[in-house]
Chains A and B, each alone.
With several copies, the nearest count.
Chain A
Amino acid sequence: MIAESMYQELILEHYKNPQGKGLREPYDVEVHHVNPTCGDEVTLRVRLAGDKVEDVSYEGQGCSISQAAASVLHELAAGSDVRESLDRVDAFTELMQGRGKVEPDEDVLGDAVAFAGVAKFPARVKCALLSWMAFKDAVARSQG
C-alpha cells in the first residue's frame, strides 16, 4: 500500500476538493511545469508581499498524487512566510527523494506527510514534486 489508508483518504480528499485551485490575479510570476514521463502538467502563479507568500494559485491535470500535492502546497504555502515555505519545499523534496527512509516531520510538513508512501516508488516521486518544484521556481524568479 502506498501509505496508511488515513493518508490515502487525505490525498483523495485533496484530489476531489482541491484547495485554492484556479489561476488568480494579481500575481508576480507564472510558471508552467510538465512531467514528461506521465504527461502531468501544472501552471502555477505566486504573489509575494515582502516576506509573505500572499497567494499560490494553480491549474493543472494529472493523477491524484500530482493534483493533491498542488492542493496541499496551496494550503501550506499561501499566507505563510516565504523562508518557511521554502524550507517546507526542501523538507518535502527530501522526504520524496528519501526512498521511504526519511522520517517525515509532521510539524514541518502538515498534511504533506500523507505523501510519505509515494517515496518508495521512484516513478511517482515526480508526480508529487511537480507543483512543489514549480512553486520553488516561481518564488526564485519573483525574488530574482
Chain B
Amino acid sequence: MTDQPFDVERIRKDFPILSRELPGGRSLTYLDSGNSSQKPRQVVEAMREHLEAHYANVGRALHTLGSEATEAYEDARDKVAAFVSAPSRDEIVFTKNASEALNLVAYSFGNPVNTDERFRLGPGDRIVISEMEHHSNIVPWQLLAQRTGAELRWFGVTDEGRLDISGLEELIDERTKIVSIALQSNVLGTINSTSPIVGRAREVGALVALDASQAVPHMPVDVTETGADFIAFTGHKMCGPTGIGVLWARAELLEAMPPFLGGGEMIELVTMESSTYAPAPAKFEAGTPPIVEAVGLGAACDYLSSIGMAAIKRHERELTAYALDALAEVPGLRLIGPRIPIARGATLSFTLKGIHPHDVGQILDDEFGIAVRVGHHCARPLHLRFGIPATTRASLYLYNTTDEIDALVRGLHHVQKVFG
C-alpha cells in the first residue's frame, strides 16, 4: 500500500466539501487543516449510519441497540489504540477535545485528595512548558500554578523556530513535577525531538505530557516510542468529527490519578456518603460519552490507515519542500519557522512586509477562495517572541496539492498588488 503512488486526486474525491462552489462561483482551496481538517464521506457516512440504525446509549443499556452502540463505541477505542500503538485499549480516554485532555492531566496535579507523590504539587514545585505552545497547553498550567502556588517555567524558541533546549538541565530541575510540550508546533511546523526532554525528566522524576494535536494527524505516532507519560490529541484535526479528543496515558498513571469529572459511568459504587470509581478509561469518562463522535473518529482512523500514515507524511513532506521553495520567491515574505523541510510538518506561517495578515487572508478568500488562517493561531506568546502580532498560516494535509500552493503564491502576489 505504501508503495503505491499517492493518488491525491482520488483522495480529494472522498472529501465532498473540496469540490464545493463558494458564493460568487469561486472554487475552494482549503489550506487551513491545522485549524481543523475536512471529513471524508467515509466518516460522515459512518456517523449517519450509526445515528439512523444503531443509536442508543452505551455501557448501561442491555438491549440490542445498546449492545450495538456499545460495540461501536468500544471498537472505536480499539481503533484509536491501534492507530497510536497504545499498549492497551484501556489507556485510551475519550475527552471532548485535546484541550480537555490537557486540562484533565493538569487537574490531576495538586489535588488535595490524591496521595500519589508524583501528582503532589505546591509552592516550590515546578511545571515546565515552552514558548511555542498552543494556548491549550499554556492556560491549563497557568491555572494549575495559580491554584497550587507552583512555579511555571518554559523553554524558549530559537530564531529558526526550534525549541531552545540549551538550558535543559537548569529548567527541568529536581523540583519539576511535570513537563508539557508540543510534539509539533501549530505555527512553526517544528517537530520537537522528545528524547532529551524525556531523558532529563526521568532523571529528576518528572512526568512528561505531549500535546500531539498537530502530530497524530500527520505522521505515524507510537505513544510508547515517544517515551512520554501522557499524550493528547483531537478528533477534528485528523479527519474525525468535533466533540471528541483523546488522552493516552500509561495505565499505571491513570490508576494513580484522581478522578476529574464526576458522574454516571465513571463510578463503581455510589452511596450518598462516598463513592468508588471504575477503572480507567471509564473513570475519566463521566456522563454519556461522545458515542457518535467516537464512531466517526474510528472511521477516520480506518480511513487514514487505509492510505497509510507513512504515505501521508511523505506526501506532506513533498508539499512542504515545494511550498518552502515557492514562498521563498515571494518578495517581502518572512517565514516564521524552519526554512528546511526537516523535522517540520506542512505548516507554513509567514508575514508579508507592510501588509497585515488580516488583509492577506481577506483578499485570498474574497478573490480566490483560498482559506488560510490569520492571527496568532492560539499561540500569542510565540508571536510575541518573534515580535509580531500575527501571521498568515497555510497548513496542508493529505488532500492538498502543489497546484494549491501555486494558487496561494499567485494569490499572495495579487495581495501585494492590491495593497502595494
Contact = CB atoms under 8 A, between A and B. Distances in A.
B60 A123 contact: yes
B160 interface: no
Contacts of B71: 99-100, 120
Interface string A90-106: 00000000011000000
Contact-size category for B: 20 to 34
A144 interface: no
Contacts of A120: 67, 70-71
B300 to A, nearest CB: 21
B358 A65 contact: yes
A36 B269 CA distance: 7
Contacts of B159: none
B390 A123 contact: no
Nearest to B62: A121
Nearest to B59: A122
Q: Is the interface of B mostly helix, strand, loop or mixed?
A: helix
Nearest to A64: B359
A37 interface: yes
A64 B356 contact: yes
Interface string A1-14: 11001001000100
A37 B376 contact: yes
A64 B67 CA distance: 19
B37 to A, nearest CB: 20
A124 interface: yes
Given A39-B390, A62-B356, A63-B358, A1 B366 contact: yes
Interface in B151-183: none
Contacts of B418: 12
Contacts of B205: none
B66 interface: yes
B7 interface: no
B318 interface: no
Interface in B216-262: none
A64 B388 CA distance: 17
B268 interface: yes
Most buried by B among A12, A38, A65: A38
A123 B366 contact: no
A64 B356 CA distance: 8
Contacts of A69: none
Most buried by A among B62, B64, B365, B389: B389
Nearest to A100: B71
Interface in A49-104: 62-65, 99-100
A17 to B, nearest CB: 13
B291 to A, nearest CB: 14
Interface in B175-215: none
A134 to B, nearest CB: 18
Nearest to B276: A36
B23 interface: yes
B62 A123 contact: yes
Contacts of A63: 356-359, 362
A1 B59 contact: no
B385 to A, nearest CB: 14
A8 B366 contact: yes
A121 B70 contact: yes
B286 to A, nearest CB: 16
Interface in A6-47: 8, 12, 36-40
Contact of A122 (B24, B70, B269, B389): B70
A67 B366 CA distance: 19
Contacts of B376: 37-38
A138 interface: no
B42 to A, nearest CB: 22
A90 to B, nearest CB: 18
B74 A99 contact: yes
A116 interface: no
B375 interface: yes
25 contacts: A36-B268, A37-B269, A37-B375, A38-B356, A38-B375, A38-B376, A39-B388, A39-B390, A62-B356, A63-B356, A63-B359, A64-B358, A65-B358, A99-B70, A99-B74, A100-B71, A120-B67, A120-B71, A121-B61, A121-B62, A121-B66, A121-B67, A122-B70, A124-B62, A127-B358
Interface of B: 23-24, 59-62, 64, 66-67, 70-71, 74, 268-269, 356-359, 362, 365-366, 375-376, 380, 388-390, 418-419
Identify the 5 closest CB pairs spanning chains A and B, nearest first: A39-B389, A63-B358, A63-B356, A120-B67, A36-B269
Interface of A: 1-2, 5, 8, 12, 36-40, 62-65, 99-100, 120-124, 127
Given A62-B356, A123-B59, A127-B358, 17 more contacts: A2-B362, A2-B365, A8-B366, A63-B357, A63-B358, A63-B359, A64-B358, A64-B359, A64-B362, A65-B358, A99-B70, A120-B67, A120-B71, A121-B62, A121-B66, A121-B67, A123-B62
